[in-house]
Amino acid sequence: MQASGHLRKLKTELKSPVKYTLIVGERNIALNSLLGKKIKFVFQNIINCINCGRETNKSFSQGYCFPCMRSLAECDICMVSPEKCHYHEGSCRQPTWGEEFCFRDHYIYLANTSGLKVGITRNGNIPYRWIDQGATQALPIFRVSNRLLSGKVEVLFKQFVADKTNWRTMLKGNAENISLSEQRDVMLTQAGKDLSALKIDSHDIEILSNEKTIEISYPVDTFPEKVTSLNFDKQEEIDGVLHGIKGQYLILSTGVLNIRKFSGYKVKFFY
């Protein structure tokens, strides 16, 4: 069987294991059922911006053309570093977008990906954010009222724990389980004075002391001993036996393919 069209990020559903769907154009293809089978992608040398549809020679920020990357608020640096939000300075690229997406509840969380990390996500992105990062455990620890505040709180915790995932380590296997609630309590003690110094109004922040750790499993038959990254910009054809799916990565017998990175790439998919 085959499908043809533009790739989008993998669609996920929190099941045990996570249920994955590959989007190719108008087709939604159940990936879990393809474990142990050979699949093949053929890049058609066409890339279209996932926002405006413009054809582009190079993709930016996981699927955008250069003009959209430069103009859209969702591609601004504050999306990666929320503590750099500049809406209050009157320089937001798209104030209406900022009002809709940045002035809503955000959550600071601990996750176990390649090890312990801290992160943030908007209300509505749970648990998808954790799945996209390949987390096997996750625990919300704060609810805050806006994105800028979430960034300020995250920065405090980055003094004590990483905020990045080592994707190669994550793809080599599952990290050992961690008591995230114990780590939360330790970090609250460590950051107590700094949190107080922020002078946050009580209605703008809530400690989520009663949340339970979410356990996440992935459809993986075999993890690679060595992680080799596959790239449509370097090879038009990518094939191999599907050994697993974790985060936004397909684990193939020939290497690993980050599907989200190639959003907007037009391919033929054979399965």
Average pLDDT over every residue of 229-241: 98
- Residue 226: pLDDT band (50, 70, 90) is very high
80 and 205 inside one domain: yes
Domain boundary residue, one of 215, 237, 256: 215
End-to-end Cα spacing for the chain: 5
pLDDT tens across 11-35, in order? 999 999 999 999 999 999 999 999 9
Q: What are the backbone dihedrals phi and psi of residue 173, each rounded to the nearest 5 degrees, phi first?
A: 160, 180
Q: Indicate the residue type of 204.
A: D
pLDDT at 147: 96
Alpha helices, DSSP H, located in the chain: 66-71, 77-80, 95-101, 128-132, 147-157, 167-171, 180-190, 192-197
Q: Indicate the residue type of 199.
A: K
Q: How far apart are CA 37 and CA 167, in angstroms?
A: 24
pLDDT at 197: 87
Q: Are 124 and 100 in contact (CB under 8 A)?
A: no
166 and 141 inside one domain: yes
83 and 181 inside one domain: yes
Cα-atom radius of gyration of the chain, to the nearest Å?
20
Q: How far apart are CA 156 and CA 190, in angstroms?
A: 9
pLDDT tens across 122-143, in order? 989 999 999 999 999 999 999 9
Whether residue 167 has pLDDT greater than 90: yes
Q: How far apart are CA 264 and CA 53, in angstroms?
A: 9
Beta-bridged to residue 42, according to DSSP, are: 237, 268
The total number of structural domains in the chain stands at 2
pLDDT tens across 48-62, in order? 999 999 999 999 999
31 and 88 inside one domain: no
Range of the domain at 251: 2-63+219-270
Q: Indicate the residue type of 165.
A: T
pLDDT tens across 59-109, in order? 999 999 999 999 999 999 999 999 999 999 999 999 999 999 999 999 999
87 and 200 inside one domain: yes
pLDDT at 112: 98
209 and 225 inside one domain: no
50 and 129 inside one domain: no
15 and 92 inside one domain: no
pLDDT tens across 174-215, in order? 999 999 999 999 999 999 888 888 888 888 999 999 999 999
Global pTM value = 0.95
118 and 31 inside one domain: no
204 and 145 inside one domain: yes
78 and 106 inside one domain: yes
Average pLDDT over every residue of 156-167: 95
pLDDT at 45: 98
